[in-house]
Amino acid sequence: MNVEDETKLDYALRGKAWKVYWLLLKNGCPLSVREVQRALHFSSPSVAHHHLERLCELGLVQKQDIGGHYSLVSEVKIGVLRHFVKLGKLLFPRYFFYAVFSTVFYMAYLTMLMQNFTRENLFIIIFGAIVSAIFWYEAVRVWRLKPF
């Protein structure tokens, strides 16, 4: 996908259309218009239908012939989605994995490898705490950017 297409998608996927796309991405299975309306608390099914059709026009969603459910055709990494990783039905901020990794190794060093309190160990303690705190801060910040 080139930069121009990405910009168009980024512009088209905002507001309620973004929430509908996020729901389909997060859910991982086809949804009906009513299911989308209920999940996102839209005022009527026609609002959900409008946004689902908009996603169909963008080529991101496809309406199934039997049952009329809508399913995700392609996943795009635009906007805040660039910072998320999908594992099954769960979406995690990329920084979450960095935070867990750095915190686990920081705790392992503190509990198993640090034998006495020296200037070098003090540096490692401070550095490890700062790195872990930064990763956790970024993970929480990106998590708050998700639509719902």
pLDDT tens digits, one per residue of 52-97: 988 888 888 899 888 889 988 877 777 677 788 878 778 889 999 9
Does one domain contain both 59 and 93?
no
Does one domain contain both 57 and 103?
no
Give the domain extent around 87: 82-143
Q: Domain for residue 57, yes or no?
A: yes
pLDDT tens digits, one per residue of 115-133: 888 888 999 999 999 999 9
Does one domain contain both 72 and 111?
no
The token pair that represents 142 in the structure block: 């990106």
Does one domain contain both 116 and 62?
no
Q: What's the pTM?
A: 0.66
The reported pLDDT for the residue numbered 148 is: 62
Confidence of residue 42 (pLDDT cuts 50, 70, 90): very high
d(CA 138, CA 120): 27
Does one domain contain both 55 and 95?
no
Q: Domain for residue 148, yes or no?
A: no
d(CA 138, CA 144): 10
d(CA 36, CA 51): 10
